[in-house]
Chains A and B, each alone.
Chain A
Amino acid sequence: AQSVTQLGSHVSVSEGALVLLRCNYSSSVPPYLFWYVQYPNQGLQLLLKYTTGATLVKGINGFEAEFKKSETSFHLTKPSAHMSDAAEYFCAVSEGGTGGFKTIFGAGTRLFVKA
């Protein structure tokens, strides 16, 4: 069975500092991995996803994530935080190769950006 763990329900960084949001997953088959972002009073939107191929995935707004199979991790990073990055971020996993619709979402990490 799949599961997703996001380390830290809240992360606070200063503007211009590195953003690192941690995500670990478990999956019995090769996973598909996603990061979604939710701005206040909005639905979720896709930041980036890993399906196959290159393990370093670049997304929108300068974010990127690296799939590390040996560590079962898919951490999200951004070199320099901007005030507009303040939002809630969700890591998600679905099982590749088996078809089906099940995407499991993590509990979310709220990012605060200090001026």
Chain B
Amino acid sequence: DVKVTQSSRYLVKRTGEKVFLECVQDMDHENMFWYRQDPGLGLRLIYFSYDVKMKEKGDIPEGYSVSREKKERFSLILESASTNQTSMYLCASSLGTGGESQETQYFGPGTRLLVL
């Protein structure tokens, strides 16, 4: 079974703090994703990575950055947290066979971030 783990289930931070969310997958997947999930909006893609040190912007990258130094680990960074970044953050991975658009994504349990 693919396992995607996220470093924290719940996080409380203050406005202006730098926040690191970490995600690790154990199935040697090429592709990794960060989404935020908000009620009524579904999941929105923040960034994705298709290889080590490679990253691409998703639909809502503003205020976020990412890092992928190792294949199994994909970090999301909030450089200066703001209250409108209070949300649920979901990490996902997929195999990466070249047919990415039809691949199943495997999700972590999520990190619920509250920015005060």
Which A positions have Cβ atoms within 8 angstroms of B? 4, 9, 32, 34, 36, 41-46, 49, 51, 90, 94-103, 105-108
Contacts and interface: CB of A to CB of B under 8 A. Distances in A.
B104 A46 contact: yes
Interface string B72-105: 0000000000000000001010000011111011
A32 B33 CA distance: 18
B92 to A, nearest CB: 8
A32 B101 contact: yes
23 contacts: A4-B42, A34-B104, A42-B109, A43-B4, A43-B90, A43-B92, A43-B107, A43-B110, A44-B90, A45-B106, A45-B107, A46-B104, A49-B104, A95-B101, A96-B101, A100-B101, A101-B31, A101-B33, A103-B101, A105-B35, A105-B43, A106-B42, A107-B42
Among B40, B43, B99, B106, chain A packs the most CB atoms within 10 A around the CB of: B43
Among A49, A94, A102, A103, chain B packs the most CB atoms within 10 A around the CB of: A103
Interface string B20-51: 00000000000101010000111111001010
Contacts of B31: 101
Nearest to B105: A103
B102 A51 contact: yes
Among A4, A96, A108, chain B packs the most CB atoms within 10 A around the CB of: A108
Contact of B41 (A41, A97, A103, A107): A107
Among A34, A44, A46, chain B packs the most CB atoms within 10 A around the CB of: A44
A34 B105 CA distance: 10
B42 A105 contact: yes
Nearest to A45: B107
A46 B33 CA distance: 16
A103 to B, nearest CB: 7
